[in-house]
Amino acid sequence: MKVAFIYSTFENIGIECISSMLKKEGHKTQLFFDPQLFDDILFSNKLLGRAFSYKNNIIKQVVKSKPDIILFSVVSADYKWACEYAKKIKQQIDTKIIFGGMHITSVPDIVIKHDFIDYIVIGEGEFAIVDLLRSIESGKPDYSIKNVWFKKDGSVIKNPVRPLIKDLDKLPYPDKELYRKHGEPFITGYTMQAVRGCPNRCTYCNHDIYKRYYSPESSTYIRERSIKNMIAELKDSYDKYKYKYIRFFDDDFLRDHKRLEEFSKGYNKEVNMPYTCIAHPDSITEEIIQWLKLSNCRQVNVGFQNVDEKIRINILNRKEKNEDAIRSIKILKKEKIRCIVDCMMGIPSSDARNMEETFKFFYNNIPTRLFMPWLQYFPRTKMCNIAQEHGIISEEKKRQIELDPYNKSIITMDKTVHNTKIMKYQTLFVSLLVSKKLAWILHKTGLYKIIPSRSALFLNIIAYMKAWSPYEHEQVRSPKRYISFMMKKVFGV
């Protein structure tokens, strides 16, 4: 069958995994890619967004190509966008539309209600989609396919999930052909996720939702591709694509130190391209530095989320210590490995005092880059209940988050004076990355409280340029890429 994926902005390994399974089954797959230049969750401008929107062109192309099946992979950030596309396409052609991905797994009962969606897939999708397409192609629908929710005679058939895939080595390599046609950074950068699952249950994260479907014991929840299998894919793909660096998207690439040693030795011999990864502060120790150096690691993204241990334990359910965070920054910087830190603002019970502590903490331990995003409530995560207990969101807001998670009024929820006061610290944190002296002056004089947001944007640009690197996923926002897509939109080149 002719299968179309529609996706925006980023490379999506989930789509690549599904595509390679479908190709193996003899289906033809294609990706319709929307660069969403000025209209995504991080950067949106109404006028520019409309002027350089690819939406109508893509819808026209999809309608013209008349696929048998259209697949949407949906995280909460993309939900509204995906629904808009699906609705418009369904009005023009009669094709089956299937939604899958993290957001669908979180709120399947809400998503299935849309009449422009024919089926939804929850949890891991590889085998479910193969079974579903076989059933559709045969013309004899099998309503018992695990992981799939069907609509029949006005009611919904909700099938349970099948067990998680045990041996990831048996899966075909993700289909990288899909994205290469869409330019940088999908050509020079290679992405991989080698381990599925995480042993932790942070209250704001979607692993907690997955663990409600699947056995939470880490022995079955965490699955690792063998190092041999990873290296074989990387070598094979290098021969084909000559990529320049790799991004590992495992939730904690440095968790298993024995595995890291085995990886480093093999990787050093066979691949040795620069790479970036994500890790937990408590996984980063002096002993592993030799393996990071040997394997050509250039950047580690570390999530601290808050500098107050009580908030981390009681609100976020994170167990690491501040000394883990300090050590990670210190040793990565000493070894000249970029250390990118995430720390959230707006966490229930985080107040101006907590922001002062955060400033002091990072003043003494400046990472290469510091991201301070406002906490986002993902539907049905424990964090929604915690926020409700703290009086931050109501039952009604919780419901709204399930229906429309990226509604602006929800993201900037309850912008009380209290929150506005906290937001002001953002300027201070950015200035820290520009110059420690500047941050000190802004803090001492209190000037950071009156700096207009435009100047904060200016500081952000300087901080960004100061620590620029070719290895970051923000590459999708490189001026070169924007110009190329804008030209294509205006002149068709």
Give me the residues that bind ligand B12 (CB under 6 A), please. Answer: 9-10, 12-14, 17-18, 71, 73, 75-78, 98, 100-103, 106, 121, 124-126, 129, 193, 205-206, 249, 251, 373, 378, 473
State the nearest-atom distance from the C-beta of 290 to ligand B12, in Å: 26
Rounded CA gap, 292 and 289, in Å?
Answer: 5
71 interacts with, out of ligand SF4, ligand B12, none, CB within 5 to 8 A per kind: ligand B12
CA 388 to chain centre: 25
Q: In the complex with ligand B12, which residue's Cβ is closer, 365 or 381?
A: 381
53 interacts with, out of ligand SF4, ligand B12, none, CB within 5 to 8 A per kind: none
For residues 351 and 365, the answer to whether their CB atoms sit within 8 Å is no
106 interacts with, out of ligand SF4, ligand B12, none, CB within 5 to 8 A per kind: ligand B12
17 interacts with, out of ligand SF4, ligand B12, none, CB within 5 to 8 A per kind: ligand B12
State the nearest-atom distance from the C-beta of 14 to ligand B12, in Å: 3
For residues 288 and 331, the answer to whether their CB atoms sit within 8 Å is no
59 interacts with, out of ligand B12, ligand SF4, none, CB within 5 to 8 A per kind: none
Rounded CA gap, 277 and 41, in Å?
Answer: 23
For 212, other C-beta atoms within 10 Å of its C-beta total 10
Q: In the complex with ligand B12, which residue's Cβ is closer, 103 or 443?
A: 103
**Roughly what angle, to the nearest 10 degrees, separates helices 425-434 and 453-466?**
30
Q: In the complex with ligand SF4, which residue's Cβ is closer, 207 or 259?
A: 207
Q: Which two tokens stand for residue 281?
A: 């502060």
77 interacts with, out of ligand B12, ligand SF4, none, CB within 5 to 8 A per kind: ligand B12
78 interacts with, out of ligand B12, ligand SF4, none, CB within 5 to 8 A per kind: ligand B12
200 interacts with, out of ligand SF4, ligand B12, none, CB within 5 to 8 A per kind: ligand SF4
Buried b or exposed e, range 386-403, using 16+ CB within 10 angstroms: bbbeeebbeeebbebbbe
The residue to which tokens 């915690």 are assigned: 386
State the nearest-atom distance from the C-beta of 329 to ligand SF4, in Å: 18
Q: In the complex with ligand SF4, which residue's Cβ is closer, 12 or 29?
A: 12
State the nearest-atom distance from the C-beta of 252 to ligand B12, in Å: 10
For residues 247 and 192, the answer to whether their CB atoms sit within 8 Å is yes
CA atoms within 13 A of residue 475's CA, in its CB half-sphere:
17
Cβ-proximal residues to 18 (8 Å cutoff; 6+ apart), any chain? 5, 71, 73, 100, 125, 126, 129
Calculate Rg over the CA atoms of the chain. 23
Q: In the complex with ligand SF4, which residue's Cβ is closer, 2 or 207?
A: 207
Q: Which two tokens stand for residue 129?
A: 């989609």
Q: In the complex with ligand B12, which residue's Cβ is closer, 241 or 249?
A: 249
Rounded CA gap, 229 and 116, in Å?
Answer: 39
Angle (nearest 5°) at CA 402 between 79 and 101 = 45
Q: Which residue is nearest to ligand B12 (CB)?
A: 100
State the nearest-atom distance from the C-beta of 251 to ligand B12, in Å: 5
State the nearest-atom distance from the C-beta of 298 to ligand B12, in Å: 16
State the nearest-atom distance from the C-beta of 246 to ligand SF4, in Å: 20
Q: In the complex with ligand B12, which residue's Cβ is closer, 188 or 435?
A: 188
Rounded CA gap, 81 and 374, in Å?
Answer: 21
State the nearest-atom distance from the C-beta of 463 to ligand B12, in Å: 17
Q: In the complex with ligand SF4, which residue's Cβ is closer, 244 or 327?
A: 327
State the nearest-atom distance from the C-beta of 275 to ligand SF4, in Å: 19
Q: In the complex with ligand SF4, which residue's Cβ is closer, 21 or 278?
A: 278
For residues 301 and 340, the answer to whether their CB atoms sit within 8 Å is yes
The residue to which tokens 């939702």 are assigned: 209
Rounded CA gap, 78 and 36, in Å?
Answer: 11
Q: Which residues bind ligand SF4 (CB under 6 A)?
A: 198, 200-202, 205, 207, 251
